[in-house]
Structure 1
Amino acid sequence: MKVAIIGASGKAGRVILEELAERGHALTAIVRDAARTQHDTVLKRNAFALTTEELTDFDVVINAFGASPGNEHQHVDLGRHLIDQLRGTPTRLIIVGGAGSLYVDEEQTLRLADTPDFPSAYLPTAKNQAKNLEDLRQTVDLHWTFISPAAFFDPEGPRTGKYQLAKDVLTVNAAGESYISYADYAVALADEVEHHRHDKERISVVSV
């Protein structure tokens, strides 16, 4: 498939690009600075300026954008821009979300970001990614999937090729840990790209 990755030079974006490249998909890295990626096909563009015409050239657009400190509102701003450009089209939007918007109870009354021990430094990102998810859920004419990692999203962890999926409640693995490596998260995301099993849904990923 033809897949574009916004933020392909970021930590998660690079790993997702590598996983999809291994699977033989036609990939385009959408980045502001082409020097930050070694991928062959690059679209040098400010993500906020991407047009419907540009985006609908792809089967799937992956939003792996990471906002800098103090600019966390851009998760909402970019999310709304992509919704506006892609609604009513067949192009699918997959969002690399966060764990902060996951609930910690089965009754879904308390989100992880609202618990006392949630790191304050990550709270603005968590709140804005949660708002992005809310905007997506209020959009009816868009094919989207929001994928949250486990609470410990490990950039150094191994690729085991195994994972388990959950929905809106924070889930733990057999060791009682909410953990996923970037590499195994990328496996789960690539599987969703290929199989499209969770249209208009948020899913979460944890190791086995």
Structure 2
Amino acid sequence: MKIGIIGGNGKAGAAVYQEALKRGHQPTAIVRNAAKAQGVLGADATLLVKDGFELTREDLTAFDVVIDAFGVPMGSPLAYLHLDLLTRIVHELRETQTRLGVIIGAASLTMPDGRPLLDHLMATPGHEDWIGVPLNQTYEHAFLQMIDNVDWFAVSPQREFKLGPASSYVMGDQKVMFDADGRSELTTGNMALAILDELETPTHIRQRFTVRNQEAD
């Protein structure tokens, strides 16, 4: 499977790239800086060096799947680029055979009290300094639900999303999940496992799902 990964040298994108390579697929990291990407993925990494906003329909449809792992730092004034890039990609992929996977963050998940996690984040003191990314990722989720002529899926991590190895995961749908110790966590490795499992056995057609780490025995 030919898999293009926008932001393929980032925290989530690099994990997806390595897991795809491990499974015998043909991943390509779509990046702006070749040297930086090679530093993360290795000197022999397959790259498409191009700004995401310059990707054409021909660029994107050369892949069986495009994964949007684009991200800006928490607190960045450019958080709106999450939605801007997604709308551009969707425009180019309408009525094509290329599948689209989008990593959209956890803010649109629902907490046990029935409210969106975003509501809880908005009530956190000092949220004004970093809420832009979670807010725009909820916009991405809302936007995707309007799209019926692109074969998309979206995946949300849990409240804590951090670098870590692949082990195993627990599948969820629209809710924040907690393990037996009350943790709501997902590693980048387990995110990559879930995404590659979805690509190899599609079960979420125009749907969002979420995963958390499986507790060790």
Give TM-score, length-normalised by structure 1. Answer: 0.93
Please, which of 47, 71, 75 is the counterpart of residue 78 of structure 2?
71
Q: 1:118 to 1:26 in 2, by over 3 A?
A: farther
The answer to whether structure 1 residue 126 and structure 2 residue 131 are counterparts is no
The answer to whether structure 1 residue 114 and structure 2 residue 100 are counterparts is no
The answer to whether structure 1 residue 18 and structure 2 residue 18 are counterparts is yes
Query: Partner residue of 1:9?
Result: 9
The answer to whether structure 1 residue 192 and structure 2 residue 198 are counterparts is yes
C-alpha RMSD of matched pairs (Å): 1.5
CA distance in structure 2 between the aligned counterparts of 1:118 and 1:177, rounded to whole angstroms? 21
Query: Partner residue of 2:47?
Result: 42
CA distance in structure 1 between the aligned counterparts of 2:27 and 2:65, rounded to whole angstroms? 10
**1:175 shift after superposition:** 2.5
Paired residue type of 2:116: R
Query: Partner residue of 2:161?
Result: 153
Could you list the runs of 5+ residues in structure 1 that have no partner in the other structure? Answer: none
Could you list the runs of 5+ residues in structure 2 that have no partner in the other structure? Answer: 39-43
Do 1:112 and 1:118's aligned partners in 2 also have CA atoms closer than 8 Å?
no
Q: 1:91 to 1:176 in 2, by over 3 A?
A: same
Secondary structure (helix, strand or coil) at the match of 2:48 reads strand
How many pairs were matched up? 204
CA distance in structure 2 between the aligned counterparts of 1:53 and 1:10, rounded to whole angstroms? 24
CA distance in structure 2 between the aligned counterparts of 1:118 and 1:193, rounded to whole angstroms? 39
**1:106 shift after superposition:** 6.6
CA distance in structure 2 between the aligned counterparts of 1:6 and 1:18, rounded to whole angstroms? 14
Paired residue type of 1:92: R
Cα deviation per residue 1:34-66 (whole Å; 9 max; x = unaligned)?
111225321111101111111011110000001
Q: 1:119 to 1:197 in 2, by over 3 A?
A: farther
**1:174 shift after superposition:** 2.9
Give TM-score, length-normalised by structure 2. Answer: 0.89
Map of 1:79-94 to 2, 5 A cutoff? 79-94=86-101
Paired residue type of 1:51: T
**1:27 shift after superposition:** 1.2
Do 1:159 and 1:183's aligned partners in 2 also have CA atoms closer than 8 Å?
yes
CA distance in structure 1 between the aligned counterparts of 2:51 and 2:204, rounded to whole angstroms? 28
Query: Partner residue of 1:206?
Result: 212
Query: Partner residue of 2:186?
Result: 180
Secondary structure (helix, strand or coil) at the match of 1:93 reads strand
The ranges of structure 1 where at least 4 consecutive aligned residues each deviate by more than 6 angstroms after the TM superposition are: none
Secondary structure (helix, strand or coil) at the match of 1:125 reads helix
Paired residue type of 1:33: N
Query: Partner residue of 2:28?
Result: 28
CA distance in structure 2 between the aligned counterparts of 1:22 and 1:118, rounded to whole angstroms? 42
